[in-house]
Chain A
């Protein structure tokens, strides 16, 4: 898509979404989504806590037991880390392509590829975030019917860091949803202006 700087569509009632502004908005949103997903991955991968418990006392010497909580003990958290890593790589590639890719010429094929990849990565990050969320809920509340004890009262900081990673991942999910819709809307707007059909302009607030 050749860029015309600051091209404005014909004036109608209300504000009009200019092509230049929408391109930078989309780029900014993708940067935010990349940062959120990368933060979620990093916080989850570096999440570890070691704690020593006194299990028994023999005479006067206490018997200690050292337990470690690491993220790779739980398969759901491993899936979470991988999913968020893939999504952050996807956003990085999309940013690079937007900034540097205007020299490559594959006009008809580019947009369906971007839209489909966006949708697939949206499903991926949604699956990862929700699996980790319910596993965290199980760790926080336990399950009395299955006789599973909660672990968050013993490993408080581990649970807090996991919660932070989850929040970052849900933020990335919301941003990716917004990006998917905006990029499809943006492309439809640009194409209908280049085909000069005045009736199809969608007016969006600034």
Chain B
């Protein structure tokens, strides 16, 4: 009974994380907008910034990993490897979301000390698109963290007299 409950919770969490990473990747890749301001053409794509390219790569890797693990989660022999890989993927997701958030915050508010103007006034739809992708990535990072703590709890419980 406890074992089926454990399997159901794990599969639900993994499905949620898979959906979140997939939507983050797709929304970020399809975000582009062009605007003409005083004869200067502003064209904003995700590939203009190395940080967003890193973000898309990390989320895509996490999506592929989630898909593979969803099909493998019934096999016993991969348990330890999956726990270790889960920790690595959760770390990658947190780092990519924090890097993308840092750059997106500069894009929205600018940096007066460095002389960088905010770009969200010229390309507002691009900014909204990127915000959506960042929210999905944030949810994915939190779900992976919860999944890790749950696997730790399940993995370590048989060793305790508690």
B44, CB-defined interface residue at 8 Å: yes
Secondary structure of the B side of the interface? helix
B84 cross-chain contacts in A, Cβ below 8 A:
181
A126 cross-chain contacts in B, Cβ below 8 A:
91, 94-95, 98
Report the stretch among A9-17, A24-32, A87-95, A129-137 that lies at the interface.
A129-137
A79 cross-chain contacts in B, Cβ below 8 A:
98, 102
B87 with A119: CB separation less than 8 A: yes
Interface size class of B (residues with CB under 8 A): 35 or more
B54, CB-defined interface residue at 8 Å: yes
A123 cross-chain contacts in B, Cβ below 8 A:
90-91, 94, 145
A108 cross-chain contacts in B, Cβ below 8 A:
160-162
Secondary structure of the A side of the interface? helix
A73 with B50: CB separation less than 8 A: no
Which of chain A's residues has its CB closest to B51's CB? A134
Report the stretch among A35-43, A56-64, A96-104, A145-153 that lies at the interface.
A145-153
Known: A108-B161, A134-B51. A73 touches B96 (CB 8 A): no
Which of chain B's residues has its CB closest to A68's CB? B113
* Additional A-B contact list (9), CB under 8 Å, known A126-B98, A138-B106: A75-B102, A111-B156, A122-B87, A123-B91, A128-B98, A134-B50, A134-B103, A138-B103, A146-B49
Give the 6 A-B CB pairs with smallest separation, nearest first. A108-B162, A130-B95, A127-B98, A76-B102, A145-B48, A134-B99
